[in-house]
Amino acid sequence: MAGKNKQDVFAEALKGKKIPMLTLDNKWYRLLDELGKETVKELEGQLNTLLKRQGKLTTQMKEIRRLKKKLINEIMPMVDEMESNGSRKLEKEIQEHKRLVDECNEKLKSYQEELMELPREIDAINYKLMLLTMEYCYDTMQENTGQIQEITDWVTKIRIELKKNLIRKQEMEQKNHDIYAYMNAIFGADVVNLFDLQYDPEQQHPKLPGEKKTPGDTQPGGQ
């Protein structure tokens, strides 16, 4: 991506792609560490606000439609009664119901217009949030890749050093074993005290299958 604007490259990649609603996607949240969450915090808040508004308007429209239906159902028998036995009180009730129905219509129209516009706003914010997420993920992967290589190099170096030290350890154990076996054949068990040994080389260096026993193994002191 050298020499290219990351946002332009990501925007090109998103063409024709269906972007999930990010703040409703648990997998999206799992991608973000504390730095990532802070990076997207502003757009995340804007998107959630729009989604909540959309949900609230949808719920309110259902409630208003139910109220409107109830008012209309109540008006019809009032009108029938008004034709046969009109009264001032009944007329006022009919007018109030009509006013409330008109108010419901105005709210429904206003909410419907807002609901038609909200998806465009939501998609625009969600798109910006995806671009920001892609940039964060790209930067994170680049940083991780560098650190992964450093750790890989370190592990390789340590493995080489470990292998060298294991070989040195085995060589020194073998040398001690050879010296002990020789001296044990001459001096017997006192060789441990004679050479101030802190451990028994026979225990530290068990014999390999097929290894011949030295005279000191069975007859201390060569006897």
The tens place of each residue's pLDDT in the chain, 223 residues long, gives: 655 688 888 988 899 889 999 999 999 999 888 888 888 999 999 999 999 999 999 999 999 999 999 999 998 888 877 777 767 888 888 899 999 999 999 999 999 999 999 999 999 999 999 999 999 999 999 999 999 999 999 999 999 999 999 999 999 989 988 888 888 888 777 766 666 666 666 665 544 444 444 444 444 444 3
What global pTM score does this model have?
0.67
**170 in the same domain as 141:** no
> 132 and 41 in contact (C-beta within 8 Å)?
no
Burial class, 38, CB count within 10 angstroms (exposed 0-12 / middle 13-18 / buried 19+): exposed
Burial class, 135, CB count within 10 angstroms (exposed 0-12 / middle 13-18 / buried 19+): middle
**143 in the same domain as 168:** no
Over residues 139-153, the pLDDT tens digits come to 999 999 999 999 999
CA distance 3 to 194: 74
Residue 167 tokens read as 């070989």
Over residues 16-25, the pLDDT tens digits come to 889 999 999 9
Q: Out of 115, 149, 183, pick the residue that ends a domain.
A: 149
Give domain status of residue 142, yes or no. yes
Give domain status of residue 215, yes or no. yes
Containing domain of residue 211, as a range?
Answer: 164-222
**77 in the same domain as 180:** no
Q: Which amino acid is at 219?
A: Q
Number of domains in the chain: 2
**66 in the same domain as 39:** yes
